[in-house]
A and B are shown apart, each in its own frame.
Chain A
Amino acid sequence: MTPPDDQRLLEIRNLKVQFALEEGTVRAVDGMSLVVNRGQTVGVVGESGCGKSVTAQALLRIVPKPGEIVDGELLYYRPTGSDGENLHVTDLVGLPANGDEMRDIRGNEIVMVFQEPMSSLAPVYTIGHQIMEAIELHQQVDRKEARERTLEILQRVGMPQPTQTIDSFPHQMSGGMRQRGMIAIALSCNPTLLIADEPTTALDVTTQGQILELMQKLQNDFGMAIMFITHDLGVVAKMTEYVTVMYLGKVVESADVDTIFHNPKHPYTKALLRSMPRMGVKSRRLEAVTGMVPDPFHVPPGCPFHPRCEDYIAGRCDAEEPPWIETEPGHGVRCVLYE
């Protein structure tokens, strides 16, 4: 294995996750590649069914049955030693999902914040209990110290009245407070990578803004990388540095955020951006993407986007898999138009 670039934190190489169902095999993730550097914020964008959430589940090795990682590598450049000076490259795919090493990484070094804070917090335990559980599980501290650290983390995530909230149950808290609680659990162990799966979709706009600003601040403080999984292009524009666009399990385009929004190459990326209603742009009609996302059992041959594509070339796009083309360093697109 090549010696790791010292900025590199995670490298997804040609990941494939499949679900063998009675109706057929769903290729939920079909050759996904992505590099995340230390402290970087990466956006994974796409519509429902594009495989963005399954990618996150694969990273944590919590893909639900009958889903299975069938191919690819998940290279995690793991800091080792007391000061984290040395790097050790671990392929997460090779680890037993419930083995000691994976359990050590999951929830400790790679953590996740989910979309629905109500259903991802346990309703019968106080928020304090749930944060302390994470701390006690991963760090050698006693009860008293765990509680102190919990209070400290609640303060850092801006929880109102932390000394009282620590003993509150999730149902006693507002949506914004619950999401702060989720983030507190995730950050309790100083992770290297935070995966945020639509973390603000269920929240009101003003609360969304507060949570996003909190995440930016915490990233500055803690220096972790964030993988932002979302369909909201406004959130992507505000939060991320590098963006990967997915469609039906495949990466169709990857570039830095400015390029994705101002110089997109893939017809799907372009169409998505055009279809957004924008303030101040008064037009009678939106330029909608025609058709709909095909069902996962009948993925079209060739480029999966070809039935909805404006630049579709008959005989090519529906026949051959488009290659991955680097149009410039750091900007890749999966489309025959750029050959």
Chain B
Amino acid sequence: MSSTNNPSDAVSDRSAQETPLLEVKGLRKYYPIRRGFLSRTKGFVKAVDGVDLTIQRGETLGLVGESGCGKSTTGRCLLRAVDATEGQVRYWMSDESGWTDIYALEGQDLRRFRRFAQMIFQDPFSSLNPRMTLLQIVGEPLTVNRLASGEELEHRVADLLRRVGLRPEYMKRYPHAFSGGQRQRIGIARSLALEPNFIVCDEPVSALDVSIQAQTLNLLQDLQEEFHLTYLFVAHDLNVVAHIADRVAVMYVGKMVELAESDDLFASPLHPYTEVLMSSVLPPDPRIKTRQIEMTGEVANPADPPSGCYFHPRCRYAEERCWQETPELREIRPNHFVSCHRAEEITLEGVL
């Protein structure tokens, strides 16, 4: 967990740091659109359209954006839960093995990777099999990988349940007997069963009530400390992301538009879309009057994105260059990346 608040400290820290845990280059995921009698491919939905990213060991990287921006698909590609169309995803799994390209893995090696990286899902109601007991659900990863059985299995599951704040006596019960918050804990226990290093948390608290949300966020932070976990935290609630993430990446229509240290991003965003997103956060305080920046039109269609910068039809700062040239992700300030032609000229408002 990088706990530095001063950006200049963060820079020196970072350069001294070891290699990152994970490196993504040119990640693309296109879904074919098939139509007609012969189901010919008529085009592609570009769900993820060129994402570059590194994740440091022990950090929480927040990934935000609106529905359909490709944030969940990105998370899944990092785990090879869906196969990317293009691009490279490399993990530094251990010092002995060095960099591992997960799209080159097969058989035994792929199974080893599956133990290294896990996922926590959004909906605790549909992500647990209703016909399985907690013992079966939480113990399944251990059984499948032949790591434990019988008494040993019960022992390990009991331990996992205790870690997430559930009573081991509940082991023989079925998910329907539990509330949303408890079910999310069951899902977390299952994802921890194989002692992973990296977890993709896909909207882990958005289906939970306010009071349960706070408990779950605390639990995730405690587990991170205890097991030295690295998180990719996919979410749309910026209040939650600002609280939990060390760095935040913003996506819009399959592309990463901005990536920065959390405090830096919320205090002084560099991309106009980030500015709009932040202006739409509603603070839980009637004395703070906010005004959302107006944004024209609808989100671009990922099957037929606009030319140049995908955000230009809705951007209040757009000029000719924005619909002619595609902007690249550039490091404008130390550790602050943005893909906007006009990032140096315009001054945007943050929320901190």
Interface residues of A (CB under 8 A from B): 47-48, 160, 174-176, 204-210, 213, 231-238, 257-258, 261-262, 271-273, 275-280, 282, 284-290, 292-293, 295
Evaluate contact between A277 and B243: CB separation under 8 angstroms: yes
Asked if B145 is at the interface of the complex by the 8 Å CB criterion, the answer is: no
Residues in A with CB closer than 8 Å to B84 are none
Sampled A-B contacts (10; CB under 8 Å): A176-B298, A205-B236, A205-B281, A234-B281, A257-B286, A261-B286, A275-B214, A276-B284, A280-B242, A292-B179
- The CA-CA distance from A175 to B280 in the complex, in Å, is 17
Docked complex Cα distance between A205 and B250 (Å): 14
Name which of B213, B221, B244, B299 has the most chain A CB atoms within 10 A of its CB. Answer: B213
Rounded to whole Å, the gap between the CB of B242 and the closest CB of chain A is: 5
**What chain A residues lie within 8 Å of B285 (beta carbons)?**
237, 261
Known: A206-B277, A210-B292, A232-B282. A277 touches B215 (CB 8 A): no
Q: Chain B 17-46 against A: per-residue CB contact (8 Å), 1 yes, 0 no?
A: 000000000000000000000000000000
Instruction: Give, as a whole number of angstroms, the nearest-CB distance from A325 to chain B.
Output: 23
Tell me if B93 counts as interface (CB < 8 A to partner A). Answer: no
In whole angstroms, what is the CA distance A47 to B299 when docked? Answer: 31
Asked if B181 contacts A277 (CB within 8 A), the reply is no
Which of the listed residues B210, B218, B244, B283 has the most CB atoms from chain A within 10 Å of its own CB? Answer: B210
B296 to chain A, nearest CB (A): 10
Q: Which of A231, A236, A257, A286 has the most CB of B within 10 A?
A: A286
Cβ-defined contact, A234 with B210, below 8 A: no
Distance (whole angstroms) from the CB of A265 to the closest CB of chain B = 17
Establish whether residues A292 and B214, one from each chain, have CB atoms under 8 Å apart when the complex forms.
Answer: no
Contacts of B210 in A (CB 8 A): 47, 231, 233, 272, 275-276
Contact check, B284 vs A237: say whether CB atoms are below 8 A apart. Answer: yes
Quick check: B292 and A234 within 8 Å, CB to CB? no
Q: Is B85 an interface residue (CB 8 A)?
A: no
- List of A residues within 8 angstroms of B127 by Cβ: none
Chain A, residue nearest B217 (CB): A286
Contact of B284 (CB < 8 Å), options: A213, A233, A287, A293? A233
Contact call B240/A277, Cβ cutoff below 8 A:
yes
Q: With the chains together, A277 CA to B284 CA distance in Å?
A: 9
Q: Is B67 an interface residue (CB 8 A)?
A: yes
The interface bits of chain B over 274-306 (1 if a CB of A lies within 8 angstroms of the residue's CB, else 0) are: 001101111111111010100100110000000
Hey, which chain B residues are within 8 Å of A277, CB to CB? Answer: 214, 217, 239-240, 242-244
Decide: A231 and B214 in contact? CB cutoff 8 A.
no
- Cβ contact within 8 Å between B211 and A234: no
B194 in contact (CB, < 8 A): no
Residues of A within 8 A of B236 (CB): 204-205
A173, chain B: closest CB distance, angstroms: 10
A280 touches B351 (CB 8 A): yes
B238 at the A interface (CB under 8 A) = yes
Q: Chain B contacts of A271 at CB under 8 A?
A: 211
Does the CB pair B66–A276 fall under 8 Å?
Answer: no
Q: How far does the alpha carbon of A47 sit from the alpha carbon of B280 in the complex, in Å?
A: 23
Q: How far is the CB of B45 from chain A (nearest CB, A)?
A: 15
Residues from chain B with Cβ under 8 Å of A261 in the complex:
284-287
CB <8 Å contact, B287 and A234 = no
Give the residues in chain B near A207, CB-CB below 8 Å: 66
Name the residue of chain B whose CB is nearest to the CB of A268: B211
Of A205, A237, A282, A289, the contact of B211 (CB 8 Å cutoff):
A289
6 smallest A-B Cβ distances: which pairs? Answer: A234-B282, A277-B243, A288-B214, A289-B211, A209-B292, A275-B214
The winner among A160, A235, A276 for most chain B CB atoms within 10 A is: A276
Closest to B211 in A: A289
The reply to whether B284 and A280 contact each other, CB–CB distance below 8 Å, is no
Residues of B within 8 A of A287 (CB): 214
Q: B66 to chain A: which residues have CB within 8 Å? A: 204-207
